[in-house]
A and B are shown apart, each in its own frame.
Chain A
Amino acid sequence: MSEQKQEKSEVKPGEFSTASLSLTTKERRFGERAIELGIYTVSSLSIIFIFLIFAFVLREASPIIGYTLSGEQTEKSAELTPEELTRAKEIVGEDYPILTHNSEITVSALIHDKWEPNSTYPRYGIWPIVLGTLKSTFVALFFAIPLSIFAALYTAFFAPLRLREFIKPVIELLAGFPSVVIGFFCLITIATFAQDLFGYEFRLNSVVGGFGLSLAVIPIIYTLSEDALRSVPGSLNEAALALGATKWQAAYQVMLPAATPGIFAAILLGLGRAFGETMIALMAMGNAPIPSWDVFDPARTFASTIGAEMGEVVFGSSHYQVLFFLGVVLFVFSFSINFLTEFYIKNKLIKKFRGNE
């Protein structure tokens, strides 16, 4: 203790010193603790938001799920007089459930091929929508996968440095195009161009729309693939070249396989985007719920159906619930894709392909 006093007395007046600060006094920084607590809380908001999004979309669709789980029969709950029922059966036909706008809907009432939500006895068959979504997503990936992966290969391995610095930002700029602009471009320009070229019947269809979706997907797959290709250790490339492989052989036979998990993840995320994109599908696909496998027929997707119909729907009606149910499907699908890329691909596949780093 006496030493400490000595130390203090050496300090000139007005000169600041920390030497006398106590080591055993508790830190009293309540303000700081509070702020840090605030930081943790705010950071947890992202988690809370995910829960809230799922909870609230699910909540609006919950009657459907509730009735499905409780096993009630949809048709019984449609409160119609016998005369109305007869009339309804004439209109709707024997093969479809008879519903009103206040009916309690079960999932089984959604599995057929007629989507007519606005008629007196509405039908909510999601088969045309499922088909439309599948077709357009397929077309989108059909265009986007080769274009973006080859472009990523070019940028990562073949392009001169200067050119690479130009190409990458330009393609990434495409990600900044509002989807409504891409949708409009397809609606006006691509639709006419493609119809002139192929001479099919409907101007707007899942090829035109799918191509539009591919424009939204390309920057995603491109950027992530390029990152994956470039993060392959350069030593692999050098080893291949040293063994006498040409530049392209090294790129295709060594680097591309080594980047497979990353590219796979890129494609999955691209798939998620194509599946859930609204405005392009809404504007460029013709929006008709036709249960057809033909890619040149007009089509609609889960997302575009919600986008087109939610604005005019009566809150709480069966139509409203069905649209939210489609939203649940979209959410679950995108969540699963993210879960898959995050935990399976990043953790397992990358380790498998590269060995433990």
Chain B
Amino acid sequence: MKRSRQILGFFAHGLPLVATLLVVGIIVAIIANFLIGGLPALSWEFLTESPRNVNTEGGIFPAIYGTVLLVIIMTIAAVPIGTITAIYLAEYAKKTSKLAQFVRFAVNTLAGVPSIVFGLFGLGFFIQTIGGGIDNWNHQAKMAELQQLVAAAPSPIANNSFAPVREIKAYLTQEDELKWRKEIQRLNQYEGGESAYANSQLVVTYLSSHTDPNWGKGNILWAALTLSLLTLPVVIVAVEEALKAVPQEVRSASLALGATRLETVWKIVLPNSLTGILTGSILAVGRGAGEVAPILFTGAAFSLAKLPGLQDQFMHLGFHLYILSTQAVNIDQARPLQFATTIVLLGLTLALNAVAIVIRSRIRRKNKSN
């Protein structure tokens, strides 16, 4: 009896230790694995140059640039909304408030929605609905203008009689070549060529039925906004925690002096939770920088000729790694680059997380002492 109890005790103590060692061991193994494989390929050149030779040589600068730009836009969108929501939850909401309960539930749900679903949402909402809507709006406006322009044109165009497409093109070119550039180009593809005869209404109808997606396709703005939804709960939780670290007595003192709730928040609470807002932002950036699923079809690109602006697709470290490791032309040749890319991505996210964890544990300690 006593012996069996000893054996049981041995396992009862041993299993938790073994499990802990295994988990920590795996983490160390992952890091070591990438450091050993990737450090030799990591160089200044790697960080600052563009990929060459179908991503088997050169560096990953555009991917770093894209990732950084992406998370900057994401932060600009997520941090204000997240901070304001946290202020509401921590400073305004009463415990019994239904709205607050709904908001909390929504935040928790948002945190649990799979990242790929955010990608679908980005595609359906930002790209198709918003982006497509903008494109459509612009197109309609432009076509209305075209209609007017055509009506003001000299005969035979204005009279809606048939004329060679060439003449209509010449007219548009003469009016504003830069503005009608796309339309002029498209008329090149008009059935029958530019000698074909068409009346102006046919031309307008033809041009109206063709649009180039401008905002209605993946770009860094839509990807960043999609990502900001995903990181919103991260910001809210971190900032709320920081706000709660400000002692209640200090709020009372301010209110007793006749400060309003808003003055109290603005002048007393917020200045004392700046580190918390910072932590929230850092955590969000760390999380956002590593997420690939939401950007798979909202704007990430494998290879680009130039660095992106808001309306362009972009390269991204995580996406780059995904493509390099699964779809590269010559996977083995790209291996050192894959490892080095991993180091950069992992280094970026881990450094951000480590900083946030350190600040956070300080806030938690402060919270406990209150």
Contacts and interface: CB of A to CB of B under 8 A. Distances in A.
Interface of A: 18, 29, 32, 35-36, 38-40, 42-47, 49-50, 52-53, 56-57, 59-60, 146-151, 153-155, 157-159, 167, 169-185, 187-189, 215, 218, 222, 246, 248-249, 251-252, 269, 272-273, 275-279, 282-283, 303, 306-307, 310-311, 315, 323-324, 327, 330-331, 334-335, 337-339, 342
B349 A178 contact: yes
B359 to A, nearest CB: 12
Given A40-B88, A248-B12, A342-B108, 16 more contacts: A40-B99, A59-B124, A150-B18, A176-B350, A178-B289, A178-B349, A184-B321, A187-B325, A215-B26, A276-B117, A278-B292, A307-B296, A310-B120, A310-B123, A330-B117, A338-B105
Nearest to A46: B106
A180 B262 contact: no
30 contacts: A18-B258, A32-B260, A40-B88, A43-B85, A43-B88, A44-B103, A47-B103, A56-B121, A56-B124, A149-B19, A151-B19, A154-B19, A169-B357, A173-B353, A176-B353, A177-B30, A177-B290, A180-B292, A181-B342, A187-B325, A187-B326, A276-B114, A278-B293, A303-B293, A310-B297, A327-B117, A335-B109, A338-B108, A342-B105, A342-B108
Contacts of B22: 147
Contacts of A176: 286-287, 290, 349-350, 352-353
Interface string B308-332: 0000000000110110011000000
Chain B interface mostly helix, strand, loop or mixed?
Answer: helix
Given A282-B322, A283-B325, A36 B92 contact: yes
Contacts of A60: 120, 123-124, 128
Interface of B: 9, 12-13, 15-20, 22-24, 26-27, 30, 33-34, 80-81, 84-85, 87-89, 92, 99, 102-103, 105-110, 112-121, 123-125, 128-129, 229, 232-233, 236, 258, 260-262, 286-287, 289-293, 296-297, 318-319, 321-322, 325-326, 335, 338, 342, 345-346, 349-350, 352-354, 357, 361
Contacts of A310: 119-120, 123, 296-297
B27 A171 contact: yes
Closest 3 CB pairs of A and B: A276-B114, A178-B290, A154-B16
Contacts, number: 257
Nearest to A144: B23
Given A52-B121, A53-B113, A276-B116, A311 B297 contact: yes
A222 B23 contact: yes
A277 B114 contact: yes
Contact of A57 (B13, B16, B124, B129): B124
B204 to A, nearest CB: 25
Contacts of B353: 173, 175-176
A189 B33 contact: yes
A276 B117 CA distance: 9
A47 B106 contact: yes
Nearest to A156: B16
A246 B325 CA distance: 51
Nearest to A183: B322
A43 B338 CA distance: 41
A266 to B, nearest CB: 13
B345 A180 contact: yes
A49 B293 contact: no
Contacts of B99: 40, 43-44
Contacts of A339: 109
Contacts of A323: 120
A170 B24 contact: yes
A53 B118 contact: yes
B186 to A, nearest CB: 21
A158 B17 contact: yes
A59 B123 CA distance: 12
Given A275-B114, A330-B117, A177 B106 contact: no
Chain A interface mostly helix, strand, loop or mixed?
Answer: helix
B20 A167 contact: yes
A276 B115 contact: yes
A185 to B, nearest CB: 5
Contacts of B16: 150-151, 153-154, 157-158
Contact of B12 (A175, A184, A251): A251
Nearest to A166: B24
Contacts of B107: 46
Contacts of A342: 105, 108
Nearest to A312: B297
Contacts of B352: 176
Count chain A CB atoms within 10 A of each CB in B116, B236, B297, B352 and give the residue with the most.
B116
A47 B294 CA distance: 20
Contact of A327 (B92, B109, B116): B116
B42 to A, nearest CB: 15
Contacts of B17: 154, 158
Contacts of A248: 9, 12-13
A57 B119 contact: no
B109 A306 contact: no
A53 B121 contact: yes
B133 to A, nearest CB: 13
A278 B293 CA distance: 6
A301 to B, nearest CB: 10
Contacts of A151: 16, 19-20, 23
A29 B236 CA distance: 28
Nearest to A42: B84
Contacts of B349: 176-178
Given A45-B81, A275-B114, A184 B342 contact: yes
Contacts of A53: 113, 117-118, 121, 125, 229
A171 B124 contact: no
A49 B108 contact: no
Nearest to B262: A32
A31 to B, nearest CB: 9
Contact of B293 (A18, A56, A158, A279): A279
A338 B117 CA distance: 15
Given A45-B81, A279-B322, A180 B290 contact: yes
A183 B34 CA distance: 13
Nearest to B22: A147
Given A45-B85, A278-B116, A180 B20 contact: no
Contact of A52 (B84, B125, B326): B125
A167 B24 contact: yes
Nearest to B318: A180
